[in-house]
Structure 1
Amino acid sequence: MSSNTIIQTLEYSFVLDPKFTNTDIITYYETHNGIWRDYTAESLDATISYKMIDNLHVLHKIVRRINNIQSKLGKSTKNYITIVDPSIANPLISVSIHGNEQFCNDARHQILTNYNQVGHKTLNLTEVEFMSIDEAFTNDMIKLSQRYDVELIINNDKNSFLQQQHKSSNHKDFSLHIVGKKDNITLCETALRILIDSLLNGYTIDCIDMSLSMIPVLGGVDLYNFLQIAKQTKANIYVPELLPNLFNSNIISNNKDLKIWITAKNISELLLAKHILNKLISDKRELITKTITMNKIKLDSIILNNQKDLLNIMFKYGVFIQLPSLGELNNATITVQGCIPESVNDCVNDINGIAANYYSMDAVCPINELALTQLIQLKKTCVVTFNQFGLQVVGRSDEFKPILAQLASNSMAIKLRLEMGNDQRDFITGKKNGKLIKILNQLQNIPKINFTAFNEYNFYIDVEVTNNVPIVVQALELLELEMPSELKFNIPEVFHKSIIGNGGSIIQGIMKKFNVYIKFSSNKTSPNAYSLKRTNNVLIKCPRKNAKNIQLVKYEIDQLVYKCCMNYTTPQPNTTTTIYHSIKFELLKSHYLLLINNNKLGQVNKIESDYQSFINFPASIEDFKNNSKLVIDMKGSESKG
């Protein structure tokens, strides 16, 4: 039976108890939940004691347990795990798993499901809030700290946990700190803010039951709907963490029985906010669900390293993304749910774009474990698997390419695998495979380049080299230069025809001048939208080697829009010149509120479409400032020969 080794690097995180790093700190209250661990550091001068939490201790604990079980099986097993602790030279945790394939997979699963990242979050308290703290509040703090397995600290230094601390604390600061696992901190933060509103500010609180998957759908792009309701009613709206169990915290047992919390100073404000939210919820939405199958190693790497990117995608499109927990067995599927087909498709493409930024390779290379460990140190996205037949490396492109360059010089064969969206296939190959033929000619036709179907959305590009192996580095560079770069933005549809020109003459001239592709499309807006958010309807796309031209193209298009607004168009023979007119009208604030609270903003898009116009409609109630009405500009066109 072959022996395998998996080397996985993990980010190390820790938090020091600030009382031991800054003697000026005054701690007013601490829950003492028992998550701090005592440590000592010896130097030539003295022995220093301090308290700390980190994510290394639990990994050592699970590794000892696994190794003890294997040692009891006797000499018949060669399964074991080693950990290289982080150091100043390499601040990452390096885990090496040795043994048969089944053991390596099971051990990696146990390592990842027990891995977490620790951190802190600081909430600033006003002096009035601080002076309102009583036994009821501290008792509830203790309950929260136990429920979420965090430490809650109230002190006089808002910078307590920053690495570069101020030597002296501002004694007028009142700060409430949450310390623990990052997943737990995020969950606890919402509960703590509600507690502050309720007990310290005397706000009224209420909640609405809602499944987690509906929150970004109802909240809309950037959760803008909730933000606007909060501004209109002067209430606070708190939503749950949207990616709650990535690190197997299991505090939330399921995603269905969750709540949106509302707090307000006056009960009338709370009731109004709740009424508008319920109205938003009651509107029927046909949900669209799509699933993405992904390489398991890539998926775990994305969960570890791309959490912010995934959240940003969720906010960007107003859709829900469901991921498996880190290291979860037999689940490599991402689910996307939304109510606008274009938004769901764009979300799927963006997620696949993250996956496409992770490269992999299989190599036949004489190299030992120590050399491989040194090769991937400082690279937190890379995973190496190897045995006597060869090795496999998976990692994010920026960290992967230096490894490829080093291995290529000492390998007998390398198979490089890239992943791309199916809609990019013609772009990367060119007409009649012209781009690929050109690349192969530059490489003396040494590599073999094959395309392989992967899933519904993506395909693989396999680059195989068995002689003159270092040329694979150049092959990757040439392929990357042909990969697409793009920019999406919004231009009012009323200007599209003028910018495109008669028969596409204007836009084709720009495309030819800058060697880019430009596409105009129609806006797609939900008919029951609460907020008016302009979606992207212009795409500029070109090979990465021409990426610098994208901003130049956008500037030219912006100038064309400006000329349309100012009617600076130059008449051309045998063409019609579009003249744009503006009409101004007053919109009452009360009418604006009626429109948004009855989800009628889709009517604005309908009017624009029916009358070939653009309405500079307010995006927020804040646009009215302290006025009861707002002057709105509407632009439309008529054609004159």
Structure 2
Amino acid sequence: MKVQEMSAPNVDQFRIIEPLTSSIFLFIDGAETTYSSRIGWKPLSKEIIETLQLEPLLKEFNLTNVLCDGIEDINALTVLSEPIINSAAFISLPINGSVTSNTSEPTISHKISFNDIVTLLPDKELTDEQVSNLDCICHELSIDIIIPSLKHNNTNCDLYILGKECKVLAAKHHVLALLDVMKSTVTTDSKRTRLKVDTLELNFLHEDPVPLDIHPATIQYVKSTYKTNIYQPHLNDGNLLDKEKTIYLSSEVHSFLPIVKKMLMDILKSRTPTYYKSLSGISPGKLRYIRRFCRETVDKITLKFQCSIYISSEKAEFCSTSKELLILAIRYFTIHVLQQITEIQLIFDDNSTIDDQLLEHVLHEDLIIVQDSQQENQLLIIGNHTTKSTDIIEKLIKIFASSDLSKYDVLQWKAIFELDPSFEEFISGKKNGKLTRILDANHDSLLKLERLKEDERLFLHLIHTSSLTNFQTAFNLVLNELPAEDSFYIPELYHRPVIGSGGSIIQTTMRKHNVFIQFSNSFLLPQEKSSLIRYDNVIIRCPFKNHNNIIIAKNDLINMVDNFGSMQTIVKVHISLTQYRFLLSNYGGSIIGTLEKAHNVYIMFPLSVPTDNFVLTIKGMEENPSKAATDLINSYFGFEMEIKMTKNFTEESLSIFENQVIANFDERFNAKIAVLNKSILITYNKESADSLQMLLKDLSNYAQWRKADIVSRNERNDFIIHEDVISKNEETYSPVKNSYVGLMQQPNVRLSIPNNSIDYRQYQYPNFNIDSQSPTKLPFDYTISNNGKEGSLMGVAVMGQQSQTGSPQKKNR
């Protein structure tokens, strides 16, 4: 069988044709607006009116101008749906077509609430300074902004950013910061502190490319702790070498801004050394497909592995401060992005002519076409082959069914799959057994496994010279042998019992479900300064034909974890909000992994910022949880003191207290302070006794100024909870939603404990009605009914303590 190969990739020799779903914005002439930039608007041309059949709209509305970037470059322009009227100022018309320019981007709109500013505008009109600021940002960022009239809208008002998608995404954080500036200039309440906006320029931090994104957990922590908003550029926006970026900070507590700014600068400056890698062998068409259809997945990888990713027209670039995370990010990108994309090459007879009708059918299926200027009889079609979308082969059959297939004499079909290099043995099998079986079933096919030496990338080529139907059969056989994989987190504490002695238990599980399971240690992976990240440390893999077995095997592992967890000792530690902030500020999320590794325990630390005090659950065998709790308290906790005053804090007095007291002691002594009604909770360093005396002196002066008295000062020393208490903020471990949790949070749930059960009289359940007659020993069965629907759950207690999910709450006597 003669195999025709495509020439080596060269960006200039390829013509990439891609579908484009965009919007055309039509301005209603004479519409009353509070602000309208009108920078990119153009007069309506006769060609657009005829192509989109806009005559009926023109008669109904006075439409004179249009906004759609590069509309003249869009081929086969069609209207997707009915026009949408936006606040009586402009009409958006969804369109579809195709483009050949690598710089083409859809035109979009992004809506931001303007309500907070409307309520502060006395005449519902912008000042000259505000209009000038909006004009400036529109010209500098090449966007348009429309604010509909505020005079006739008292309930809801939005600001619209319109323009090229990349420009709109890049402008969002600038506009949000500008709105905060506008809020500060229209504040009329003399008792309210004006909002202040500061900037953090990123161009001076590093000479080499580094990840300059602030993790969402850090943004959440800063907003909760320092009442400060962080507006940063869109993820993966711009080139990795482009450091001309700005982060905006805004807060009503002006004294918090320098603290937050220093905190962020320390985080960004600490990102060294930096590890960088580029994948330069990816075809131009596949890169374009990733930029067009895989943006969301790439952003998720960035957040998951703290790794900046930039996809250009020539390569994919990765940058991280951790070598381990860089490797994980590239592997995840290969499996969940590159491996999901198939390139199918069609080689026609030299006398065949590829006409526009065939290309139009391809584009309607959300596929990208690549034409080789040096090989006019070749066509490369790029699409997705995952279970989340229609199979690319099915799309091809549909395309050729809609065309006159007899015109096209296809000499060769070729599918190109990209795999992670670690899958080479998996896909070939022992002595290439898997590939041999596929070839035995398809004599007109050829399979070739190719590994690129320059960047260690693996490709599987399926070449076929028969019909499309036979090619589909061979394609599906290959697809069935490709690796399907899922990863998730199981606490390291449970790895050994789940694996079993000599791997006996996990081997049984793998044979039972015909899957491969791999465990790894995530203790040493880097953590954020202001949060805890639980990295996936379990991988389940099998051929795609058995992919349904993955979820079954995963549930088996989770059930084993639940069973082991129910047989462990539990120690609970009370943590206040100030203690939580103190721990992260001084030690970061890495202390949790350090304690878990040192004491062989699982610490159920919250993965997001709590809104209230919470109970920290520590699980392990015998005395390990107690030792871990003691180590946590003695080695890492700060001293806590609660001060009660005779007066509540007013909005004005709280603002002064935050600016003059809280910010001062946070910056000087890293003391964390929280205010609740008449109480002040302080957590400070054990070695800073002098700072406490200074703080108490300042508090006394502050109390005198407010004409209030300090009623009491109570130190908190006993953090370990000796009763088994359920907290509404307690994190419950389960990679999937635990059935206990769902039931316990529902109202009108009835829980019945049968005869010979525990003495329920000393316990209370906030959401349950409990029926029982006489006490006995644990374990016991729960019978739960919710509006007549009954079910049964098993709660187990060991060493006198119940599992967390079945824990009752003891009454106060």
TM-score range, shorter chain: 0.7 to 0.9
Please state how far the C-alpha of 1:498 moved relative to its aligned partner. 0.9
* Bigger shift: residues 376-385 or 500-509: 376-385
Counterpart check, 1:31 vs 2:37: yes
Counterpart check, 1:382 vs 2:364: no
Is the 8 Å Cα contact of residues 418 and 458 (structure 2) preserved in structure 1?
yes
Tell me the alpha carbon deviations over residues 189-238 of structure 1, each in whole angstroms, 9 at most, x when there is no partner: 21121111122234111122225997856634xx3223212221110011
CA distance 1:399–1:548, change in 2 (3 Å):
closer
Of 283, 286, 302, the residue aligned with 2:273 is 286
Tell me the alpha carbon deviations over residues 293-344 of structure 1, each in whole angstroms, 9 at most, x when there is no partner: 11122112222222222222212211111232xxx5xxx2221111223321
**Which residue in the other structure is 1:541 paired with?**
541
Counterpart check, 1:10 vs 2:19: yes
Please state how far the C-alpha of 1:134 moved relative to its aligned partner. 2.1
Question: 1:30-179 residue pairs with structure 2 within 5 A?
Answer: 30-38=36-44, 40=49, 41-42=54-55, 46=59, 49-50=62-63, 51-59=65-73, 83-86=75-78, 92-94=96-98, 111-113=101-103, 115-126=104-115, 128-132=117-121, 133-155=126-148, 171-179=154-162
Kindly tell me the number of residue pairs found equivalent between the two proteins.
Answer: 555
* Bigger shift: residues 486-495 or 235-244: 235-244
Letter in 2 for 1:265: E
**Which residue in the other structure is 1:64 paired with?**
none
**Which residue in the other structure is 1:342 paired with?**
324
Tell me the alpha carbon deviations over residues 450-475 of structure 1, each in whole angstroms, 9 at most, x when there is no partner: 11223524222122223466422111
CA RMSD of aligned residues (A): 3.2
RCO higher in structure (CA 8 A, sep ≥6): 1
Tell me the alpha carbon deviations over residues 121-167 of structure 1, each in whole angstroms, 9 at most, x when there is no partner: 1111225545434221111011111112222111269xxxxxxxxxx
| Structure 1: tracts of 5 or more residues without a match | 61-82, 96-107, 158-168, 247-252, 568-579
What is the SS of the residue equivalent to 2:410? Answer: coil
Percent identity over the alignment is 21
**Which residue in the other structure is 1:368 paired with?**
354
What is the SS of the residue equivalent to 2:571? Answer: strand
Q: Distance in 2 between matches of 1:485 and 1:380?
A: 24
CA distance 1:197–1:462, change in 2 (3 Å):
same
Question: 1:58-457 residue pairs with structure 2 within 5 A?
Answer: 58-59=72-73, 83-86=75-78, 92-94=96-98, 111-113=101-103, 115-126=104-115, 128-132=117-121, 133-155=126-148, 171-201=154-184, 202-211=194-203, 216=211, 219-220=214-215, 223-245=216-238, 255-283=242-270, 285-293=272-280, 294-324=282-312, 328=313, 332-353=314-335, 354-356=337-339, 357-365=341-349, 366-385=352-371, 390-397=377-384, 398=390, 400-402=392-394, 404-405=396-397, 406=400, 410-443=409-442, 445-454=443-452, 456-457=455-456
* Bigger shift: residues 278-287 or 304-313: 278-287
CA distance 1:438–1:91, change in 2 (3 Å):
farther
What is the SS of the residue equivalent to 2:179? Answer: helix
Tell me the alpha carbon deviations over residues 76-100 of structure 1, each in whole angstroms, 9 at most, x when there is no partner: xxxxxxx4333569964345xxxxx
CA distance 1:151–1:566, change in 2 (3 Å):
same
**Which residue in the other structure is 2:517 paired with?**
518
Which of structures 1 and 2 has the bigger CA Rg?
2
Is the 8 Å Cα contact of residues 362 and 393 (structure 1) preserved in structure 2?
yes
Tell me the alpha carbon deviations over residues 590-626 of structure 1, each in whole angstroms, 9 at most, x when there is no partner: 333222123443222111112111111233442xx34
Is the 8 Å Cα contact of residues 118 and 180 (structure 1) preserved in structure 2?
yes
What is the SS of the residue equivalent to 2:236? Answer: coil
What is the SS of the residue equivalent to 2:621? Answer: strand
Q: Distance in 2 between matches of 1:546 and 1:219?
A: 39
* Bigger shift: residues 406-415 or 8-17: 406-415
Is the 8 Å Cα contact of residues 492 and 602 (structure 2) preserved in structure 1?
yes
Question: 1:471-620 residue pairs with structure 2 within 5 A?
Answer: 471-523=470-522, 524-526=524-526, 529-567=529-567, 580-620=568-608
Letter in 1 for 2:593: N
Tell me the alpha carbon deviations over residues 27-60 of structure 1, each in whole angstroms, 9 at most, x when there is no partner: 2222232524335533599586523222443427
* Bigger shift: residues 211-220 or 595-604: 211-220
Tell me the alpha carbon deviations over residues 423-453 of structure 1, each in whole angstroms, 9 at most, x when there is no partner: 112111222222112222222x331111122
Is the 8 Å Cα contact of residues 369 and 380 (structure 2) preserved in structure 1?
yes
What is the SS of the residue equivalent to 1:153? Answer: strand
Letter in 1 for 2:369: V
CA distance 1:88–1:562, change in 2 (3 Å):
closer
Letter in 2 for 1:126: N
What is the SS of the residue equivalent to 1:86? Answer: strand
Is the 8 Å Cα contact of residues 7 and 384 (structure 1) preserved in structure 2?
yes
What is the SS of the residue equivalent to 1:412? Answer: strand
Tell me the alpha carbon deviations over residues 553-586 of structure 1, each in whole angstroms, 9 at most, x when there is no partner: 111111111111111xxxxxxxxxxxx3222223
Q: Distance in 2 between matches of 1:277 and 1:374?
A: 50
What is the SS of the residue equivalent to 2:594? Answer: helix
**Which residue in the other structure is 1:635 paired with?**
619
**Which residue in the other structure is 1:78 paired with?**
none
Tell me the alpha carbon deviations over residues 51-79 of structure 1, each in whole angstroms, 9 at most, x when there is no partner: 3222443427xxxxxxxxxxxxxxxxxxx
Tell me the alpha carbon deviations over residues 342-379 of structure 1, each in whole angstroms, 9 at most, x when there is no partner: 32112212333322313231423435314422441403
* Bigger shift: residues 486-495 or 48-57: 48-57
Q: Distance in 1 between matches of 2:139 and 2:467?
A: 61
| Structure 2: tracts of 5 or more residues without a match | 1-12, 82-93, 185-193, 385-389, 624-797, 799-813
Please state how far the C-alpha of 1:535 moved relative to its aligned partner. 0.6
* Bigger shift: residues 344-353 or 418-427: 344-353
Letter in 2 for 1:27: T
Please state how far the C-alpha of 1:507 moved relative to its aligned partner. 1.4
What is the SS of the residue equivalent to 1:608? Answer: helix
Letter in 1 for 2:223: A
What is the SS of the residue equivalent to 1:617? Answer: coil
**Which residue in the other structure is 1:79 paired with?**
none
Tell me the alpha carbon deviations over residues 218-277 of structure 1, each in whole angstroms, 9 at most, x when there is no partner: 634xx322321222111001111233348xxxxxx9622322211101212222322322
Q: Distance in 1 between matches of 2:213 and 2:141?
A: 27
The TM-score, its normalising length taken from structure 2, stands at: 0.63
CA distance 1:550–1:208, change in 2 (3 Å):
same
Letter in 1 for 2:141: Y
Q: Distance in 1 between matches of 2:285 and 2:295?
A: 15
The TM-score, its normalising length taken from structure 1, stands at: 0.79
Q: Distance in 1 between matches of 2:361 and 2:221?
A: 50
Q: Distance in 2 between matches of 1:529 and 1:131?
A: 37
Q: Distance in 2 between matches of 1:46 and 1:607?
A: 72
CA distance 1:265–1:44, change in 2 (3 Å):
closer
